Amino acid sequence: MAKYDVVVVGAGNAGLSAALQCQIAGKKTLLIEQHNLPGGAASSFRRGRFEIEPSLHEICDYGPANNPGDVRNILDAYGVKLEWIEVPDCYRCISTYSDGSPMDVVMPAGIGPFIDAMEKYVPGSRARMETLFDLFQEVLDGIAYITASKGHADSKVLQAKYPNMLRTGAYSTKKVFDALKLPQKAQDILSIYWSYLGVDMEHLAFIHYAAMVHKYVSRGAYIPKHTSHQISTAMVERFRELGGQVWFNCRAEEFLFDGDRLCGVKTNLGQIDCRYVLANINPDIIYGKMMPKELVPEREKKLSAARNGRFGGRMYTAYFCCDKSAEELGIKDYNTFLPGTADSRKEYENIMGGMKTNDYSIFLCYNVINPDFSPEGTCVCSFTTFGSPVDWNDLSQEDYFKFKTDGAKKMLRILKEKMGVDLTGHIEEMAVASPWTFARYLNAPEGAVYGYETADWDGMMARMMMLGQDYPIKGLRPIGAAGPRGDGYSAAYICGQLMAQSAIRELNAEEGGNK
């Protein structure tokens, strides 16, 4: 029978990161993945002569060599190398301001240029924007300190060095923006990234939003040259190089226990003995389906009940491969946010109301920053929005294909109205991924790739503070979007590493004890 120190279940971003971390620490590690590809949503697929990126818009925490972000540092530490492309602008947004007036802004990367652009669109915003960015920086430093302290942050240090983080950290983004007296129009422009976290500004912790926006603006965003499948495959190959083993199309069916301690995994490729499992699986699925019910701790049942199915980011994405170049089609920007309104609460409600009311989408064209992304004279575009259980829970198979396409048609219409760009008549290949699709490939509850909403009491910082209390099962730790860092590529790589480090410490302590 196969025997390992650690089995990482699920080769999503967190799983890949965790597997590399464990192997580097000298643990005999097996990575199993239920699909025949690594990466989960960090993947790609082919249609005709095109290769399509399913999920990645941009990575916010990679950064240039002279100002590396966490993701660059992590991949460097793992020895994972691949070619990256810098995204020049943060975003374009075509929408309406909260007061109903039209918005069309292009926000560049770099703190100086970003604040300059804001001053141009919202005259008089400069001083408050500078204060905001100072605050962002302090928050970021504070989070770094808390993360490094691994749950033992010294409150004296926090009070001395990060007082503003402490004073703002427990509030929603909206509350802090108001407290800073940021003009409403500047708030509207700043709030655009909300959808990357899936929680509107009234419910999203400021500290979480601050960390993300600061990274995007100060370090710029990056994408791999050849889709996120390239990142995932590069990580798998590095893991192999280090001696790790990977089994694809290998599904964990059940976690096996010796008393209250995990001792193995039952899979379609046989039983695997191990001392530890890092599971890139949503805890609801682990507790509900993959382990003996009597071993699920009371508090974990309560945690799940308290979250009450409040999942974030049920993805809906339409992909179009066109037989004209971006230039010929009149597409100038890499990513354009096209929400109906900049009021994130309203947009959130429209989204949750289903496709009828949902007027949110993000439009991307990869060729704008990567001319080689598809054959000459062609381009690949995508629209991303969120699905709602209202639409997808009870949809019949008979209506499914048409409903999927109708959503794509709506997005094409919005694109034409707002940007004057018409893709119809140029579509050579297309695909639509619905929450069903993401549920199928990732097995994420409701196709929600963002895990549980990092809203209100269950925000990122609160989860970080309770690392030791959540998921107290011996030898088993869930990792991924449901974890302390929430959703997103960067968060998943960081979470995978963080949780693997904890597992390694526990295993080392045991080994020390045994000697």
Would you state the torsion angle of the CA atoms of residues 209, 214, 216, 218, taken in this order, to the nearest 10 degrees?
A: 180
302 binds another protein (CB under 8 A): yes
390 binds another protein (CB under 8 A): no
Contact region for another protein (CB under 8 A) — 17-25, 285-293, 334-342, 502-510? 285-293
Residue with Cβ nearer another protein (268 or 508) = 268
Which burial class, exposed, middle or buried, applies to 394 when counting CB atoms under 10 A from its CB (0-12, 13-18, 19+)?
exposed
488 binds another protein (CB under 8 A): no
Instruction: Compute the least distance from the CB of residue 209 to another protein, in Å.
Output: 14
Residue with Cβ nearer another protein (321 or 419) = 321
* Options 233, 358, 370, 385; binder of another protein; rule CB under 8 A: 233
Instruction: Compute the least distance from the CB of residue 437 to another protein, in Å.
Output: 7
Instruction: Compute the least distance from the CB of residue 347 to another protein, in Å.
Output: 21
- What is the pairing mode between strands 261-267 and 270-279? antiparallel
Residue with Cβ nearer another protein (25 or 465) = 465
Per-residue string for binding with another protein, 139-178, x by CB under 8 A? ----------------x---x---xxxxxxxxx---xx--
Query: What does residue 192 show for φ and ψ, rounded to 5 degrees?
Result: -55, -35
Instruction: Compute the least distance from the CB of residue 228 to another protein, in Å.
Output: 9
In order, the DSSP letters of 28-70 are -EEEE-SSSSSBTTS--EEETTEEE-SS-S-BTT---TTS--H
Contact region for another protein (CB under 8 A) — 18-26, 45-53, 329-337, 343-351? 45-53
Cβ atoms of 382 and 320 closer than 8 Å: yes
User: At a CB cut-off of 8 Å and minimum separation 6, what does 494 contact?
Assistant: 17, 70, 71, 74, 485
242 binds another protein (CB under 8 A): no
Cβ atoms of 282 and 15 closer than 8 Å: no
**Alpha-carbon distance 124 to 12, whole Å?**
44
- Interacting positions 412-431 with another protein (CB under 8 A): 412, 424, 426-430
* Options 61, 333, 446, 487; binder of another protein; rule CB under 8 A: 446
285 binds another protein (CB under 8 A): yes
Cβ atoms of 319 and 382 closer than 8 Å: yes
254 binds another protein (CB under 8 A): no
Which burial class, exposed, middle or buried, applies to 108 when counting CB atoms under 10 A from its CB (0-12, 13-18, 19+)?
middle
Instruction: Compute the least distance from the CB of residue 512 to another protein, in Å.
Output: 29
370 binds another protein (CB under 8 A): no
Cβ atoms of 367 and 322 closer than 8 Å: no
* Options 398, 420, 512, 514; binder of another protein; rule CB under 8 A: 398
306 binds another protein (CB under 8 A): yes
